[in-house]
């Protein structure tokens, strides 16, 4: 009888532990998602000020295209709009559409 009570208590404890760890995991995932959403707004890159390393973090933009962006900016002055990136060799319509939400000129 004592063994049976011990076994029931052990199973109940295990069940509670699993239930609470699942809640903690969901809460941690929610916190991560809200932090990522907040960072997405804050991480917009100003293409008129960003250095090569920062520009290279954009999807599809490697160090070579990042160098071209900064060279274009130095030769022609600041970008007036993000669409001006189409004047940079290696940046086409598809790439621009992909990075447009991540960049700004102001």
Task: Say yes or no: 82 and 52 in one domain.
Answer: yes
Task: Say yes or no: 33 and 55 in one domain.
Answer: no
Q: Containing domain of residue 55, as a range? A: 45-104
Task: Let me know the angle formed at the C-alpha of 68 by 106 and 72, rounded to the nearest 5 degrees.
Answer: 55
Residues β-bridged to residue 103: 45
Q: Considering the chain, what percentage of its residues have pLDDT values greater than 90?
A: 58
Residue 83, pLDDT above cutoff 80: yes
Pairing between β-strand 103-104 and β-strand 45-46 as defined by DSSP bridges: parallel
- The total of structural domains in the chain comes to 2
CA distance 90 to 73: 15
As given in the structure block, the two tokens for residue 18 are 């699993």
What value does the mean pLDDT take over residues 13-26?
59
Confidence band for 43, pLDDT divided at 50, 70 and 90: confident
Query: pTM score, two decimals?
Result: 0.61
């Amino acid at each position: 009888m004592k063994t049976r009570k011990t076994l029931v208590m052990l199973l109940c404890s295990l069940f509670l532990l699993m239930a609470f760890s699942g809640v903690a995991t969901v809460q941690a995932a929610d916190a991560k998602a809200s932090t990522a959403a907040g960072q997405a707004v804050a991480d917009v890159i100003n293409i008129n000020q960003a250095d090569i390393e920062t520009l290279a973090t954009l999807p599809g933009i490697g160090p070579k295209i990042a160098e071209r962006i900064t060279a274009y900016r130095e030769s022609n002055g600041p970008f007036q709009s993000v669409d001006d990136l189409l004047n940079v060799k290696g940046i086409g319509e598809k790439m621009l559409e992909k990075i447009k939400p991540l960049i700004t000129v102001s």
